[in-house]
Amino acid sequence: MTSAERPDTPSEQAVLLVDPRPEDWALRFARIRDDVLAVLPGVRIEHIGSTAVPGLPAKDVVDVIVGVPQSAIAAAAHRLEGAGWDLEGERERHCWLSRPTRRARDCVLHLVEHGGRIWTERLDFRDLLRQDADARADYLRTKVEAARSSIGWTEYTRAKAPTVGRLLNEHRES
């Protein structure tokens, strides 16, 4: 059974955006970072997603990206799973986990190749939103509409993808 077929997945849950809580989200990220480093010493860890962008409403779920060598992604995911993380999905170059469970997420962790395409795009987008008020406002409009019209997290993420791609392309071209 794939993660998409399992009951009680976030793909079935409504998306609720909350007002920004940058101090709370930063403290939660710091605890997550310490927990991950206890299991995977020496990995690169970054706070990503809307909870990493001051002033941006977000789902109350801290997104984290962990960079490891490409050959170590699956093994690192299984080590985190053994430490209590819920392994939601695996692909060749990307595994994602949540805690405490996929039904009651307070964190989503993405394991990817350090310096690879996913790593770079996620950090570039976070940094763009932190630095560019117009991009942040454009993305917020998309998030609000996606949350209003989507059924579940998967649909919400897909609804935002064109705006994310466009903003990244515009930034790279400028």
Helices and strands, number each (H, E), in the chain: 5, 5
d(CA 107, CA 55): 19
Strand partners, 45: 66
pLDDT tens across 106-164, in order?
A: 999 999 999 999 999 999 999 999 999 999 999 999 999 999 999 888 899 999 999 99
Q: Taking residues 47-55, report their average pLDDT.
A: 96
In this prediction the pTM is 0.90
* pLDDT score of 2: 34
d(CA 76, CA 159): 30
Does any domain span residue 3?
A: no
* pLDDT score of 14: 82
Domains of the chain: total: 1
Q: Which residues of 97-121 are buried (b: 16+ CB within 10 A; e: fewer)?
A: bbbeebeebebbbbbbbbebebbee
* pLDDT score of 1: 29
Answer yes or no: are the C-beta atoms of 80 and 98 closer than 8 Å: no
Does any domain span residue 5?
A: no
* pLDDT score of 67: 98
152 lies in which domain range? Answer: 10-173
Does any domain span residue 51?
A: yes
Does any domain span residue 162?
A: yes
pLDDT tens across 152-174, in order?
A: 888 999 999 999 999 999 999 98
CATH number of the domain within which 104 lies: 3.30.460.10
